[in-house]
Amino acid sequence: MDPKRLMIAALVLIGLSGALWWSNKQEQKPAASPDDAPKVLEIPQDQINKIEIRRMGAEPVVLTKGAGWGIAAPVKLPADGDAVNAMVATLAVLTSERLVDEKAADFKPYGLAAPILSLVVGRADGKSHTLHLGDNAPSGAAAYARVEGEQRLFLVPSATRAALEKTWRDLRDKRLLPFDAEKVTRVELGAIAFGKNSGNAWTIVQPKALRADNFAAEELVRKLKDAKMEVTNDTEEEAGFPAKFAAGTPVGIAKVTDAKGTMQIEVRKGKENDYYARSSAVEGVFKTTAELGDGLAKKLDDFRNKKLFEFGFNQPDTVEVKQGGAVYAFKKSGSDWKRDGKTVEPGEVQQVVDRLRELTATGFADTGPGAIVAEYVVGKETVVVNQQGEKYFARRANEPEVYVLDGKAVSEIKDLAAAVKEPATTPTPAKK
């Protein structure tokens, strides 16, 4: 073989071997993690006590931290703590997608000579940092960024920019009733008033003392706690809210009392099925949610407790059904249920207990006429049932409220109690 060709082949082989070695080395190199991305800013989160948002063509938004975050300019308002804390978390460790240039000589091509958005971050130790955000990259998925006083040029995700480009309307406290739900002692909805009993459960105190559906009352408190103004940056639209409120159909007026005092909200429904609210805690009229409107449109019966028994998920020790001239009395003894001293099927007694637990009124009445046809006793609770014609009425012992019952439920309780029997016994095999 020609020595020249042999040498060329050897050189080619060496080159291929080198390329293979380099390729294998690159494959073995661990993949970059998000922690490897250069950080634009890194500030101790608890040091951040002021943020100024400067947007081209708009007044600066100044956020300051005292007992909580507040908006100091362009208007003085409480701030949404969650929204501001999200910004603080973003600024404390601001990670880039990549470092574009370690020492950029000219920032003008990237929109950073006169930035569209800048944020000045103040610290408790007196230091400050100014972050500039410029044009979007050609891909549109990232924006150019730099820190004032540094020459480094970064790309940051567009989502980061969106998280920081906020107006004062975005950051204001949007709650219409900023009360402490843990310290609420009284809630009013029109003529209905709720208070807490000794067990810290809700009870109706006006228009008269009535048992309350605790879940329904708590749901009302939740809706009032979550009552918020809908965000709009349209000042012209906002200017029309007072007139729409004045012309709207009244939905409800609610008052909430906590340790700091009482605050009130009034909601009205507009012609286009939208809702407007006026609160004593926040100046102005605001558009709000249909959920709040629906919550304040409830009537007295919507909050009354329709369950006849209150033992809930507690397991009683005694159950008694007096109905149809018979008395079915069951008593717990250890893990057994007994009737007249004899052990009975526990599962069948449990069916009676469950049916009484679920006994629910279909409505309420002013009076409960008719003869007594049944009496149910579970632990220390007693319910007496009257019948007039095909209608059934019930009362809890020593309470004035009258409940309307479905006759089918009355029949089911009797049938279940009558069906309780002694356990089946396995016959003893005969001796051979």
What pLDDT digit, counting tens, does each position of 257-311 carry? 999 999 999 999 999 899 999 999 999 999 999 999 999 999 999 999 999 999 9
Q: Please give the pLDDT value at position 37.
A: 78
Third-level CATH fold of 318-418: Dna Ligase; domain 1 (3.30.1490)
Predicted confidence band at 233 (pLDDT cuts at 50, 70, 90)?
A: confident
- Asked if 35-171 and 318-418 have one fold, the answer is no
CA distance 41 to 75: 28
CA distance 241 to 275: 10
Predicted confidence band at 2 (pLDDT cuts at 50, 70, 90)?
A: low
Q: Please give the pLDDT value at position 221.
A: 97
Q: Please give the pLDDT value at position 410.
A: 96
Q: Please give the pLDDT value at position 64.
A: 98
**Residues facing residue 332 across a β-bridge:** 337
Is the pLDDT score of 359 beyond 60?
yes
Among 118, 123, 108, 102, which Cα is nearest to 50's? Answer: 123
Mean pLDDT of the residues in the chain: 90
Is the pLDDT score of 157 beyond 80?
yes
Is the pLDDT score of 18 beyond 70?
no
Reading the block at residue 156, the tokens are: 């940051």
pLDDT digits (tens, 9 = 90+) for 169-217: 999 999 999 999 999 999 999 999 999 998 899 999 999 999 999 999 9
Lowest mean pLDDT, pick from 38-52, 94-108, 223-237: 223-237
Q: Please give the pLDDT value at position 249.
A: 97
CA distance 179 to 256: 8
Predicted confidence band at 381 (pLDDT cuts at 50, 70, 90)?
A: very high
Structural domain spans, the chain: 35-171, 181-303, 318-418
Q: Please give the pLDDT value at position 16.
A: 46
Predicted confidence band at 30 (pLDDT cuts at 50, 70, 90)?
A: very low
CA dihedral 363→367→369→371, nearest 10 degrees, is 80
Is the pLDDT score of 13 beyond 70?
no
Q: Please give the pLDDT value at position 218.
A: 97
pLDDT digits (tens, 9 = 90+) for 58-85: 999 999 999 999 999 999 999 999 999 9
CA distance 70 to 90: 18
- Contact indicator for 122, 60 with CB cutoff of 8 Å: no
User: In Å, how far are 152, 395, 414 from 306, measured between CA atoms?
Assistant: 68, 11, 21
Is the pLDDT score of 353 beyond 90?
yes
Reading the block at residue 133, the tokens are: 């955000």
Is the pLDDT score of 318 beyond 60?
yes
Query: If DSSP codes are grouped into helix, strand and coil, which group holds residue 65?
Result: strand
Predicted confidence band at 392 (pLDDT cuts at 50, 70, 90)?
A: very high
Is the pLDDT score of 343 beyond 90?
yes
- Contact indicator for 131, 40 with CB cutoff of 8 Å: yes
Is the pLDDT score of 320 beyond 80?
yes
Tell me the pTM: 0.79
| Overall CATH class of domain 35-171 | mainly beta
